[in-house]
Amino acid sequence: MPRKKRTGLPASGGESSGTQEAGRGGGRGSQPPPQQQGAGGGGRGSQVGRGWGPQYHQGGRGGGSGSGRGRGAMPQQQQYGEALEYQGRGRGSSQQGSQGGYGGGSGRGGLSFSGPSRSPVPELHQAMPAPYQAGLTPQPMPSVPSSSSRLLEHSPSPVIPQMQQLTLHQEGSSSQASQILPPTSSKSLRFPLRPGKGTSGMRCIVKANHFFAELPDKDLHQYDVTITPEVSSRGVNRAVMEQLVRLYKESHLGKRLPAYDGRKSLYTAGPLPFMSKEFKITLIDEDEGAGGQRREREFRVVIKLAARADLHHLGLFLMGRQADAPQEALQVLDIVLRELPTTRYCPVGRSFYSPDLGRRQPLGEGLESWRGFYQSIRPTQMGLSLNIDMSSTAFIEPLPVTEFVAQLLNRDVSSRPLSDSDRIKIKKALRGVRVEVTHRGNMRRKYRISGLTSQTTQELTFPVDERGTLKSVVEYFNETYGFVIQHTQWPCLQVGNQQRPNYLPMEVCKIVEGQRYSKRLNERQITALLKVTCQRPREREYDIMQTVHHNAYHNDPYAKEFGIRISEKLASVEARILPAPWLKYHETGRERDCLPQVGQWNMMNKVLFVVIYLKMCFIATF
């Protein structure tokens, strides 16, 4: 491989994602009250008219959770420089009897598929049949497919600490755990008390994207992990701990299978046979270093007992005897359930992506969308539940670099040389991307791109001996590998060590699969990604069930180790379809009054009373 002494450009990275909640549906109609002005077609909140706008999270038009919305909603604008992570919006269809289609609203717990719930205490009520009373007509209980994820429950009092600090005594003395005050980093979230349960509207049963979980009866322990030298990559930390568990599980770890958060904490279902222990782990880098050699790195790992996670208070909270959710215990369970998906899929934030979870969709300019899912353990009034929702985000297509450049520039790159603007665009898109070489048969060595050469491939030379004899890159590849470079007018990729950069022609490199695109998407790519995430509720439900089946939580070795059991059925919860209010418009329009049907209405032939220029907008959903 040609090498030339030259300082390369540093690779840039970083990733970000945006999220936005989708709307929730409307309800049944009611008689028009005199001089009443409404602001929604059902539900508790205001509705918006028809129209379509991109949403980060999926929200089916076929079922809501409280406040109603119309067929479409305006999207939250993406911040400059951020990458998008969509959890797509459903499309829905009308339901007879329940009036729930196209955003047909329902009470709390409806199938809105509005993406991952961030509330630590969602309100989720078990579906109970309506009691029979003589002389009364029973209320209809249609099954409305939907998904809910953002339902809050009361939590008025301060959080009760769950992690009990342990004092480690000196050698020769008995080691006992003594409970002390919680660390100042313990967080508490307080929620207002619920004023009461709904009484208006028509009752129905909906399905929520929650899967009930059994509370484990285990003695959970937390250990502090110190890895030296310290690295910022969670992937490297996980690789170190995976190697440690592989080597020492049967011996030093007492056959325990720990769960690791990728940073400083390790959790076990029972104590390890030591209070503190040091390990030495050697890793071999996957990427090539200087001279084409894979670097071996040695790490010093110290595991030290830190605390014990008591699940007693979590049980009290689930029984309604404690007001606040114990966040530390929930965090442990969440880390345990994320351990196996982290090894199977590509983790991005709190979501996981894989080409096996759905068909890839091209987004243009060398990008494609991958399907994925979000999961989080949640306490509810019915017990613990695992909230799962589908999402999509952009990945770089695993193409030969020449094909990627052609798609990026959207033209035939062989027709004319690259301009300066083309070089800048290519360098920005490829910097930090990992590639593998294809000119050496089955030896697919991997490198990370740090930049492009200022010279073309045919002009680029490097010394081949101590006397300084120069040889061109074209001659080197032809003589050494028998490879004839076609695009001699293109620059080479700069890879390897920045102090001793190596150069690779673009046509011998292919992009490694599974690299998320963390830069900003253009409007066409955003539109293409929105089309992928737009689904009807039944399609959404099917994808979620397929994800649960694919994850096979009943065979998860980490869930078994910690005694966690996940149901494979969607939770059925009570909901209410609220009556839609009459809307009144200006008298100059052809239609002065309007009663929304199935959560939607048409603005044709209607005139607003006052038209106001909207400079700033805030939306709060409950």
Give the pLDDT of residue 288: 54
The 8-class DSSP code of residue 337 comes to H
End-to-end CA distance of the chain: 60
The answer to whether residue 577 scores a pLDDT higher than 80 is: yes
- Per-residue tokens: 257: 């299978």
The answer to whether residue 516 scores a pLDDT higher than 90 is: yes
Give the pLDDT of residue 26: 39
The answer to whether residue 185 scores a pLDDT higher than 80 is: no
Q: Under CATH, which architecture does the 401-511 domain have? A: Beta Complex (2.170)
**Dist CA 333 CA 562 (whole Å):** 8
User: Checking DSSP bridges between strand 579-580 and strand 28-29, what pairing results, if any?
Assistant: parallel
Residue with tokens 């963390």: 518
Q: Identify which has the larger pLDDT, 317 or 254.
A: 254
Give the pLDDT of residue 322: 78
pLDDT-based confidence at residue 287 (cuts at 50, 70, 90):
low
The answer to whether residue 499 scores a pLDDT higher than 80 is: no
pLDDT-based confidence at residue 462 (cuts at 50, 70, 90):
confident
Residue 254: Cβ within 10 Å count:
14
Share of the chain above pLDDT 70, in %: 67
**Dist CA 525 CA 367 (whole Å):** 8
Residue 242 CA, chain-centre distance (Å), reads 23
**Dist CA 398 CA 514 (whole Å):** 8
Q: Which has the closest alpha carbon to 452: 485, 486, 477, 429? A: 429
* Furthest-apart CA atoms within the chain: distance in Å: 106
Give the pLDDT of residue 39: 37
Query: Is 559 within 8 Å of 552 (Cβ atoms)?
Result: no
| Across 9-13, 247-251, 461-465, least confident range | 9-13
The answer to whether residue 367 scores a pLDDT higher than 90 is: yes
| Across 284-288, 350-354, 470-474, least confident range | 284-288
Name the range with the highest mean pLDDT among 157-171, 246-260, 484-498: 246-260
**Dist CA 602 CA 591 (whole Å):** 10
Give the pLDDT of residue 217: 79
Tell me what the mean pLDDT of segment 272-280 comes to. Answer: 95
Give the pLDDT of residue 87: 58
Q: Which has the closest alpha carbon to 197: 59, 34, 66? A: 66
Q: What is the DSSP string of 338-395?
A: HHHHHHHSEEETTEEE-GGGS--EEEETTEEEEEEEEEEEEEETTEEEEEEEEEEEEE
Query: Is 575 within 8 Å of 104 (Cβ atoms)?
Result: no
Give the pLDDT of residue 74: 39
Q: What is the DSSP string of 480-511?
A: HH----S-TTSEEEEES-SSS-EEE-GGGEEE
* 3-state DSSP assignment of residue 537: helix
Burial profile 536-564: b = 16 or more Cβ within 10 angstroms, e = fewer: bbbbbbebbbebbeebebeebebbebbeb
| Across 77-91, 330-344, 441-455, least confident range | 77-91
Helices (H) and strands (E) in the chain, counts: 9, 28
- Phi then psi dihedrals of residue 534, to 5 deg: -80, 115
Q: What pTM, to 2 d.p., does this model score? A: 0.65
The helix (H) or strand (E) run that includes residue 300 is: strand 296-309
pLDDT-based confidence at residue 622 (cuts at 50, 70, 90):
low
